[in-house]
Structure 1
Amino acid sequence: MRGKSLFGVTIELAAEKRRAFKGAFQAHRVGSAMTSEMRASAYHVSRTEADIARIAGDSLCIAFQVKGGGLLDTGGDRVQSFKDGDMAISYSDLPYRATPGGHDEFHFRVITVPFDNELMLGGQTRDLLATRFTETAYARPFRALFNAISERHAHLANPDAEVAHIARLAIMARGRLAPGMPEVRAALRSGLRYAAEEIMARDKHQQKLTPAKVALELGISVRQLHVVFEHAELTFARTLASMRISEARRLLVERPALPVTEVAYACGFDSLATFYRLFAGAYGMAPGEFRASGSLH
């Protein structure tokens, strides 16, 4: 019912499978966009001309097949195979039919951005049939920006700006905007920052996590890495320190038997003095005092 009323799709499920069907759906607004996430038993879904006439979306859709791929038929003998981890970019009001690849559950995320000629820089989007995103040099920042927007716990300083950024990267990926446009380059910088933050979050416990190491993994120079943080709330160094302090805060409460010194080293600090100074600056008390308070608030 939600699929029919919110997304304007037709869902088909054999009668004998309906009793065992299970699923969960959630959606929230991020700036002008809507992000949705679905986990459910496998079923056939289509968007027909009648569905489009009933509920027009007029949106750019950026989808991520987390788990449970299958076949996507957009008509005219255009059938694509989607597997776990694939992404797709399309216009909402074009027909398609999706067939699951198996009987297992699927997990799917999508960001829908209402059509806005100014936001999309005049890039044509209304003829974009659903097409699998091709892995290019832009894949890492594109995926990182998608993750930041679609995950509810992510902090976005300017949601509308990030929505504009991912829309422009998506349209550029489909060949409708030039990579050298200033707005597209700004979008790429935003994606690179989120990609850098993903690396930092993953490796923050490493004491030798340097800008050079992060830049190398992203395939950019150290100078370029610092440039992508120029318009962020925090610099590279302050972002990493904040991640480490937050992790230390969690460990202090969740692992009360772990000595404060080991907490500091486990979070990537190589200097106790630095750890104590930054922790006190963030929470107004020493690590030991914070632990004694027994609170994560």
Structure 2
Amino acid sequence: MYRWCTNEVEPGDRFDYWREVRARGLFGVTAELDRERRSDFFGEFSLRQFGGAGFVELRASHYTVERTRADIAYAPGDSICVYQQLGGGGRFDAMRTGDFAIANGSFATSHTDQPYRTVPLGAGGFHLRILKIPVSGLPTQDKRVRELAPKVFDDAAIAPLLATCFADLCEAPANDGGPSDAAPLVQALAHLALIERGVVQPGSRRGQAALRVARLSQARRLIVHHLRDPDLAPAMVADLLGISVRHLHMLFETVEKSFSQTVTDERLKQSRRLMREAPERLIADIATACGFESLATYYRVFNAAYGMAPGDFRAQASEAH
């Protein structure tokens, strides 16, 4: 992961450096800020590579960003961008299609080589994530992809799928451009965006694959969220997802571990974490907190997975520290 912050530059030069080197040189945009406000400017970002895609998280003081025709000619991108707005929200002027506001937690999409202007709502500045996916890396070679002007997501059914894929991507390890376990997430996010924009049909092979990846991601996150519940079962998760139990099991058939194996694995990982973080806590309490139906079941499952009893694992963890 590459991180950069304006604290690395002298205060009087921070906005000029951000404008010329970071905004124009790295992102291909024009940044503007009144001169009297530049001395207080702050900006930071992180950049990770997942295959050919770039994933940026950016925070910055209030200023104006524009992607002009001149910027596009100077630094063409030919990529799909999926934006997740965080913080106080922002306003986009999409030039061709008018302006729109994007609230905290909401998503927008565009092709990089469509002009736009954006500014934060309120005085809080920018906070957003941007996934930039080269069109050349997409199996969908539809000319409409390059015509996508910035637009906020209107589909209430797809937005939660985007959110869970973005959350998984935030937790995925970077891979500096090589093969990545995050590649299916990147492809899913691209195709979910194209479903929302009407370029990919949800019932198509690519649409179904994207929906499957996103729903599996949602299912895994629901499992982690409900680990303590001893009634955690396929019917419960399927109901929360709004799908059938059969559909849920079909999602897990595409990966190495079944639903029940995933639940057990997550409960074991949680128990190991709790033993490391709270060495004084009773093992029986940890077993209950992780949703095991009994202490005997916990010992049996733990020993089968790791070849030792929970107490032996805790002793080893203590010695390591």
TM-score range, shorter chain: over 0.9
Q: Does 1:222 align with 2:222?
A: no
- Does structure 2 conserve the Cα–Cα contact (< 8 Å) formed by 1:36 and 1:150? no
Partner of 1:166: 189
Q: How many Å apart are 1:239 and its aligned residue?
A: 1.3
Deviations 1:63-82 (A, max 9, x none): 10021212110114601011
> Bigger CA drift: 81-90 or 201-210?
201-210
- Does structure 2 conserve the Cα–Cα contact (< 8 Å) formed by 1:69 and 1:81? yes
Partner of 1:72: 92
The AA in structure 2 aligned to 1:210 is A
Q: Secondary structure at the match of 2:165?
A: helix
Counterpart-to-counterpart distance in 1, 2:174 and 2:226: 18
Counterpart-to-counterpart distance in 2, 1:126 and 1:5: 22
Structure 1 runs of 4+ aligned residues shifted over 4 Å read 153-157
Q: Does 1:3 align with 2:3?
A: no
- Does structure 1 conserve the Cα–Cα contact (< 8 Å) formed by 2:93 and 2:117? yes
Partner of 1:52: 72
TM-score, with structure 1 as normaliser? 0.92
Q: How many Å apart are 1:154 and its aligned residue?
A: 9.4
Q: How many Å apart are 1:233 and its aligned residue?
A: 2.2
RMSD: 2.2
Q: Does 1:147 align with 2:179?
A: no
Give aligned pairs, total: 297
Partner of 2:270: 247
Q: Does 1:281 align with 2:304?
A: yes
- Alignment partner of 1:264 out of 281, 287, 300: 287
Q: How many Å apart are 1:163 and its aligned residue?
A: 2.1
Identify if the C-alpha distance between structure 1 residues 76 and 115 changes in structure 2 by more than 3 Å, giving closer, same or farther: closer
Q: How many Å apart are 1:121 and its aligned residue?
A: 5.0
Partner of 2:5: none
Identify if the C-alpha distance between structure 1 residues 252 and 177 changes in structure 2 by more than 3 Å, giving closer, same or farther: same
TM-score, with structure 2 as normaliser? 0.86
Q: Give unpaired runs (5+ residues) of structure 2.
A: 1-20
Q: How many Å apart are 1:247 and its aligned residue?
A: 1.1
Instruction: Among all aligned residue pairs of Structure 1 and Structure 2, give the percentage whose two residues are the same amino acid.
Output: 40
Identify if the C-alpha distance between structure 1 residues 265 and 4 changes in structure 2 by more than 3 Å, giving closer, same or farther: same
Deviations 1:25-49 (A, max 9, x none): 1111112211111122222111111
Deviations 1:165-185 (A, max 9, x none): 221121111001111112211
Deviations 1:1-32 (A, max 9, x none): 32221110111222333232222211111122
- Does structure 2 conserve the Cα–Cα contact (< 8 Å) formed by 1:24 and 1:40? yes
Partner of 1:81: 101
The AA in structure 2 aligned to 1:39 is R
Q: How many Å apart are 1:204 and its aligned residue?
A: 1.3
Partner of 2:60: 40
Q: Give unpaired runs (5+ residues) of structure 1.
A: none
Q: Higher helix share goes to which structure? A: 2
The AA in structure 1 aligned to 2:118 is A
